Structures are given as structure tokens and as C-alpha cells.
Amino acid sequence: MQTNNPTLPDKTIGIIGGGQLGRMMSISAKYMGYNVIVLDPTPNCPTAQVADEQIVAAYDDMGAIKELTEKSDVVTYEFENVDLTAASYIEKAGKLPQGAYALEVTQNREKEKNVMQEVGLPIPAFSIVKNGAECEAALKETKLPAVIKTCRGGYDGKGQLKIESTTDFPDAIEFADEGGTFIIEEWITFDKEISVIFSRSTTGEIEIFPIAENDHKDHILYETIAPARISEVVRKKAMDAATLLAEKINIVGTFAIEMFVQGQDVYINEMAPRPHNSGHYTIEACNVSQFTNHIRAICQLPLTKIKKLQDAIMINVLGEDMDKALHALAHIPESFVHLYGKAEPKEKRKMGHVTFIGDNETELEALKQAYEEERQND
């Protein structure tokens, strides 16, 4: 599907945020022939290492936002907590194809849940509270176990508290009294978590990557298996839900939706208006990555039709695992290592990832086992 006003190389793409997602966006853009400018407060951030220019400034520095807008032909972002005033400014300048609305929704868990309700998707029972007193009242009507989360911010398990029984009520009430808006949700017992990653163009064309299955450790994504081991019924429900939300929010670019699988049903967990950690496998396992189709979408180019080339397992490399992982990778030629260029390995910090691809689950499990054994032998 061709569009009328594509942004072609050698035009300039601006990226707000200089972490690993921006880095991989930049790599895809540079391969295609674009120039890249990144806005990030950390000098020589991961994205800057593979970009043409960096504007070193805070994300909400409007002077820097205006400079980025002026120097760029199109602007995108690598995280959802972009300042909405800045996003609206870039959108009004005609340089933010993704728009500010997707950010507005995904920055706020209450708005996310309301959108899901509007399109008729199954979601856990929830209530919104703004202080300890409201929390105490809501908990009396909440089925346990439950979880209380900040409506804004929070990732990798941060900004939330599980409520197992009434003995956890005082901690939850104290948590809600810290200030802000909170959501209390019924805890969903699930069989597995999956991710639906897709790209959508400005004309509504949508391409969905093979659904991935996620395994977390200490609230941080540890491993992604693609394709997910799910039934055709679940696969269709997940794809239908993603399509509904994509059209409702008018998504442009690559978007991720995490879902819980319970039997033959799916429940939406969270959404991210950008490429996602669980979609990194697409770089090796598909004919086009989540990053390349993202660049194509925001530049109003026709999306590449997605084909799965092989099955994949992606494993995150955290700071405490980096030396062991590198040792293991030196002994496994079938591995694909991606390091993000972060200055200092810190515990629980995502320093990179490794992907194994193969023809079947047995082959992949053997590669994963070899990787784990090498780490243990270091």
C-alpha cells in the first residue's frame, strides 16, 4: 500500500530517548539511509553511539524539543512517558505521525482500562483510588488476591504492590497515601503471558508479528519464546484484541500488548506504544524486524509483509550476568548477541540480549541448555 507523502532517505528521523530501543530503531534507520538525531540527557547514550547527532537535554526541555523538531523531518520515541506538552507541540508541527493520543492512553493505566472497556475486551475488575481512605474503602469490595499500581509510571515490577490477604491492607493503604492516582485490580491467575507485537501504518495497514510467550524473573522479562505455545483459539482472540485496540487508539508504528492467557481466554495486561523487549526476536527470526517496520510506518512507507523464518528464544542479559553471558557466547556460534552500549553493568539492568533461532523447539532448548551450562561453568 503506497502513501502520498513518504519521508524518504536521506531525511532525518528524531528519536526521543536514547536507550536500547532507540538504539535499535537508529540501526534500522541508518541501514535504510536515514539520518538520526537523538534527544537524551545522558551524553553518549546507547542511541547516540549509532546516531548522527545527540541533543543532550531533559526530555521535557521545550527548547531542546523545538530544536529536535526543527532538525527532524519526522520524530518518534522509544518510551511512553514522553512529556505530553512536548508530544503535542511536535504533533502540531506535523512531525509526529504516532500522535500524542497513544501516549496519553498508555501513560495512564486508568485510561488504558477505559479504552479496553469501550471496545468490549475482557479485563480484570478494577477501581481507581487517590488516597489511603479511598483505598481502604475499595479494598472492602475487592476480590483477593489483588494488586495496587500507580496509574502513571512504574515498570519491571516497580510502582506496584500485591495484596494477598487483609493483612496486606495497611501496606496498600500507606502506598496509596504516597500521592497520585492508583488502580486496584483483581489478580488474574494465568497459565502464561504472551505479547502481541504489530506495526500499523498511517493508512491503517497492519502487520502482526508471530505472537511471543514471555517468562519473567523478579518482575523482569527473562525469556521470550516465539512463536508462543498457544492454541489457535487463543491466537485468534489475541490478534482480534490487538486489532480492535489498534483501530480504537489509531496506532501508527510498532506497538506492543501484553496479555494473560487463562485457559482459552485472554486478558489485556499492559500496552506500550513502541517496540518492545519481547519483540527483539524479530531481528533474526523474521524477514523484517519490529524496528524496521516501525521506521517504515512513521515514514509513511508501505509495511513489509511479515514472514517467520525460524523459531526463536530470546534471553535478556542483565548486569550481573554479563560476564558469564559473554563467556557462554564465545562457545556457542549459533547465538546472536546484542549489547546495548550502556556504560556500567548494574544488577537487574538490561545490558543486552541474546537470541537463538532454530527449526523446532527441541533444537532451541538444546541451544538454551548449552548457554545455561556455559554460564554455570564460568
**DSSP string for 92-114:** HTT--TTTTHHHHHHT-HHHHHH
From 147, 169, 186, give the residue that closes a domain: 186
Output the domain CATH number for residue 19: 3.40.50.20
Last residue of a domain, one of 145, 161, 186: 186
Whether residue 265 is predicted with pLDDT greater than 60 in this model: the reply is yes
Query: Within this chain, do residues 201 and 172 fall inside the same structural domain, yes or no?
Result: no
Among the listed residues 117, 121, 297, 314, the one whose alpha carbon sits nearest the alpha carbon of residue 210? 314
Q: Is residue 114 a part of any domain in this protein?
A: no
Tell whether 208 is covered by a domain.
yes
Output the CA–CA distances (angstroms, integers) from residue 227 to 155, 212, 305, 359, 368, in the order listed: 24, 5, 17, 11, 16
Let me know whether 245 and 337 are in one domain: yes
Axis-axis angle for helices 322-329, 361-377 (nearest 10): 120
CB contact at 8 A, 327 and 378:
yes
Q: Give yes or no for residue 15 having a pLDDT over 60.
A: yes
User: 83 and 56 in one domain?
Assistant: yes
d(CA 332, CA 202): 41
Confidence band of 204 (pLDDT split at 50, 70, 90):
very high
Whether 378 has a pLDDT exceeding 60, the answer reads: no
pLDDT at residue 334 greater than cutoff 90:
no
**Same domain (yes/no): 181, 245:** no
Q: Are residues 206 and 296 in the same domain?
A: yes
> Any idea what the CATH number is for the domain that residue 148 is in?
3.30.1490.20
Q: Does residue 218 form part of some domain? A: yes
> Residue 312: CB partners within 8 Å, gap ≥ 6?
224, 225, 226, 281, 284, 285, 355, 356, 357, 358, 364
Give the CATH number, domain containing residue 329: 3.30.470.20
Residue 46, amino acid:
P
H or E stretch at 67 = helix 62-71
Residues 156 and 251 in one domain: no
Count of helix runs (H) and strand runs (E) in the chain: 12, 17
50 with 174, same domain: the answer is no
* pLDDT for the residue numbered 376: 57
The proportion of the chain whose per-residue pLDDT surpasses 90, expressed as a percent, equals 85
Mean pLDDT of 183-193: 94
State whether 214 and 182 are in the same domain.
no
Whether residue 202 is found in the same domain as residue 296: yes
Within this chain, do residues 168 and 268 fall inside the same structural domain, yes or no? Answer: no
Q: Domain containing 329: what range?
A: 192-377
40 in a structural domain: yes
Regarding whether 22 and 163 lie in a shared domain, the answer is no
Strands 53-56 and 35-40: parallel
Give the gyration radius of the chain's Cα atoms.
21
The arithmetic mean of pLDDT across residues 270-297, rounded, is 97
Shared-domain flag, residues 266 and 359? yes
1 in a domain, yes or no? no
Whether 109 is covered by a domain: the verdict is: no
pTM reported for the whole predicted model: 0.93
